[in-house]
Amino acid sequence: MSYSPLEIDPQHYGWSYTLAHWVSNVLNPPVISVLGIFLMASFLGTPDAWRLAFLFVILVVIVPTLYVYTLLKRGKIETFHIPNRQNRKGVYLVIIASNIVGVIVMLIMDAPFLLLAFGIMGVMQSTLLFLVNMYWKISGHTTAISGLSVFIVAALGWSMSPVLMIVPLVAWARIRTQSHSLWQTVAGILTGSFFILMTWILLTSIVKPEI
């Protein structure tokens, strides 16, 4: 069972709810995507990588975000986090389409492997979320943060492993705000981690990049 954040009074629930509310808002899937692509661009350290990263953000993050904002303004959804599973279908389709366009652009512009791989994983992850959402409500927050954390460690090495500690923080925040149940957050962590890791292994076995 899950509840909309609109049903909860932050002052009544105290500082822990307020903290969880901020964690949920700051580490939401669009922000996680921006952080991920910018981290890859920073690691590559070239002007072209940064230009491609900003283009990726426009296509894959800003476009779907504007779509969700439009739904919110028209009263089609209650909150930006879209607590109602049925209302997420159209949003996921827009996200999938945006990710596919982003990957095509990356291919056309001969993007570095790290940026291209990040885009491909976005397609895989958003498609997975769409399919699961047809039958069950899974936590997009924990799917996104676990997927990004695993990607960072796989791509940049075990020195980046402290980033994994963010995953349980986000899971706690989603449970604390009663946005998701324990099992919905656990499912997000497992699916996000497993499918991103398998996709990374498959991509690197085919392309064999020099990172």
User: Quick one: pLDDT band at residue 73, thresholds 50, 70, 90?
Assistant: confident
Contact 191, 128 (CB under 8 A): yes
What pLDDT score does 5 carry? 42
Contact (CB, 8 A) for 103 and 116: yes
The single-letter code of the amino acid at 34 is V
The mean pLDDT value for 122-149 works out to: 91
**Residue-level pLDDT at 209:** 66
List % helix, strand, coil for the chain (3-state, nearest 5).
Answer: 80, 0, 20
pLDDT higher than threshold 50 for residue 201: yes
Residue 207 confidence (pLDDT): 74
Instruction: Quote the crossing angle between the two packed helices 47-56 and 29-44, to the nearest 10°.
Output: 170
Q: What mean pLDDT comes out for the span 15-19?
A: 88
| More confident call, 87 vs 115 | 115
For residue 168, pLDDT over 80 is answered with yes
Listed residue (88, 85, 83) closest to 4, CA to CA: 83
What confidence score (pLDDT) does residue 79 get?
Answer: 79
Residue 40 has pLDDT above 60, yes or no: yes
Q: Look at residue 1 in the predicted model and tell me its pLDDT.
A: 37
Q: What pLDDT was estimated at residue 17?
A: 87
Distances (CA, A) of 58 to 35, 46, 201: 13, 19, 28
Residue tagged 């909150």 (tokens): 79
Q: For residue 194, give both structure tokens.
A: 């497993």
To the nearest whole number, what is the mean pLDDT of the chain? 88
Residue 88 pLDDT class (50, 70, 90 cuts): confident
